[in-house]
Amino acid sequence: MERDISNGLLYLQDYPKLWKWINRCPACGSLGHKPELPESLPQSAAPGNIRKYFPCMPLTENGLCEQCHQSTAVKPQSLNRDAPPESN
Ligand SMILES: [Zn+2]
């Protein structure tokens, strides 16, 4: 399901405080809301709106989105391939 992130960014321009609920992956720039975004906030439509504009995007322990985490996880193999073979 495609979500219109650009509308979400416009929404965040109006409510910059809501950035605290947004994760941004430093590697690919993907935006998503934090999993800990509450179901509802008192006198605020923010949670529903944020969910409308942004997918849920937890960041892994190294601060990357799931996709980048997986792509960095395969990197050591390609690095090993480029490195000269160890001779015993
Ligand atoms: Zn990413």
pLDDT band, residue 1 (cuts 50/70/90): very low
Q: Which pLDDT belongs to residue 4?
A: 76
22 Cα–ligand 1 center, Å: 14
Q: In the chain, what are the domain boundaries?
A: 5-81
16-75 per-position pLDDT tens digit: 999 999 999 999 999 999 999 999 999 999 999 999 999 999 999 999 999 999 998 765
- As residues whose CB is below 5 A from the ion ligand 1, the structure lists 25, 27-28, 30, 65, 68
What is the reported pTM?
0.75
SS3 percent helix, strand, coil of the chain, rounded to 5, is 45, 10, 45
C-alpha angle 53-16-44 in degrees, rounded to nearest 5: 65
1 Cα–ligand 1 center, Å: 18
